[in-house]
Amino acid sequence: MTTWKVSHIDAKKTLRAFLKEKLGEGYSVRKIKWNIDHHLVSVNGKVERHSTVKLVAGDVVDFNTKNITDNTIEKKRILYEDDAILAYDKPPRMTTMGKGLLEILRRKYRDLEPVHRLDRDTSGVVLFAKDKKYLEAMTQQFRDNIVEKVYWAVVDGVIKDESGIIENRLAKIGENHGRAVWGKVAHGKEAVTRWRCIKTGRGASVVECRPKTGRTHQIRVHLNGIGHPVLGDVHYGKRFRCRYRPSRVMLHAKKISFKHPMIGDKINITAPIPDDMKEAIRYTNCGMVQKGVTE
């Protein structure tokens, strides 16, 4: 992390121009914009998504290079592998499809196909099949809602209830800056999420979510719907009480359980909590020492 305080001389410059001047020839304007688009730049502790915003004297600009994703396969992120399945711990700020994780993995595993996907900002377990017959067997388990998924989220506000079930129907209701917005509508598809509060802290809570269904943005929409948007989720959360401002959505696919498509055994795969989420937990004093839960 590199930090600058904007002087009177630099006041009224755009964020992009300011960073270009500070970073020099090592960073092109295009690369700087990429960092801004990927939520790696903040102004006064809040992620700034617009490269043309004008700075004022006294602004504090943070430029985070630590979390830029490397485009190589990390062996430590391979959580499980056999002749049928590969499970990978997807880092945040990387898409599952397109030019993201799938493209990287196919450099080694040519015929690999994703069984499901995670949002770009969501970290954690993603399953891939090595053969079409295994892909069909696995996707059928997802269709039948028999795959057990466990997510952890750091959410805004102190949750008073210990647990609950959110049931409604979700569908796409619009767009925000070219990105789909999902919400509760009568004609939507069934969406069910079980949740329990693991720990509360300063203006935030750590929540474990077990979605029975797998609708787009389901957990994010559901948690926002009960008044506790996921920290960093400005796509759905409009007002945040917590002072901590993470550079991405604090949602992690922690565990997945399924029936192995080849041998029939139940397989449980767990992804460790990433460093940026640990930092959010530490900052908000939501330490993971409660009811036998440790991280």
pTM given for the model:
0.76
Query: Does residue 235 fall inside a structural domain?
Result: yes
Residue 221, pLDDT > 70, answer yes
Residue 16, pLDDT > 80, answer yes
- Identify the three-state secondary structure at position 177: coil
Query: Does residue 215 fall inside a structural domain?
Result: yes
* Higher pLDDT pick, 37 / 4: 4
Query: Does residue 292 fall inside a structural domain?
Result: no
Model confidence over 26-58: pLDDT tens digits? 678 888 888 888 778 989 888 888 889 999 999
Residue 175, pLDDT > 60, answer yes
161 labelled catalytic: no
- Identify the three-state secondary structure at position 157: coil
Query: Does residue 70 fall inside a structural domain?
Result: no
Whole-angstrom distance, CA of residue 3 vs CA of residue 170: 41
Same structural domain, 57 and 125: no
- Which range of residues forms the domain containing residue 44? 2-63
The domain that contains 192 carries what CATH number? 3.30.2350.10
Same structural domain, 84 and 121: yes
DSSP string, 225-276: HTT-PBTT-TTT------S---SS--EEEEEEEEE-TTT--EEEEE-PPPHH
Same structural domain, 89 and 232: yes
Residue 66, pLDDT > 60, answer no
Model confidence band, residue 69 (pLDDT cutoffs 50, 70, 90): low
Residue 293, pLDDT > 70, answer no
Same structural domain, 41 and 162: no
Q: What is the CA radius of gyration of the chain?
A: 20
Among 22, 41, 63, the domain boundary falls at 63
Model confidence band, residue 137 (pLDDT cutoffs 50, 70, 90): very high
* Burial state string for 81-106 with b = 16 or more CB within 10 A and e = fewer than 16: eeebbbbbbbbbbbbbeeebbbebbe
Q: Which among 62, 89, 119, 233 is annotated as catalytic?
A: 119
The domain that contains 26 carries what CATH number? 3.10.290.10
Among 63, 92, 113, the domain boundary falls at 63
Whole-angstrom distance, CA of residue 86 vs CA of residue 109: 10
**Number of compact structural domains in the chain:** 2
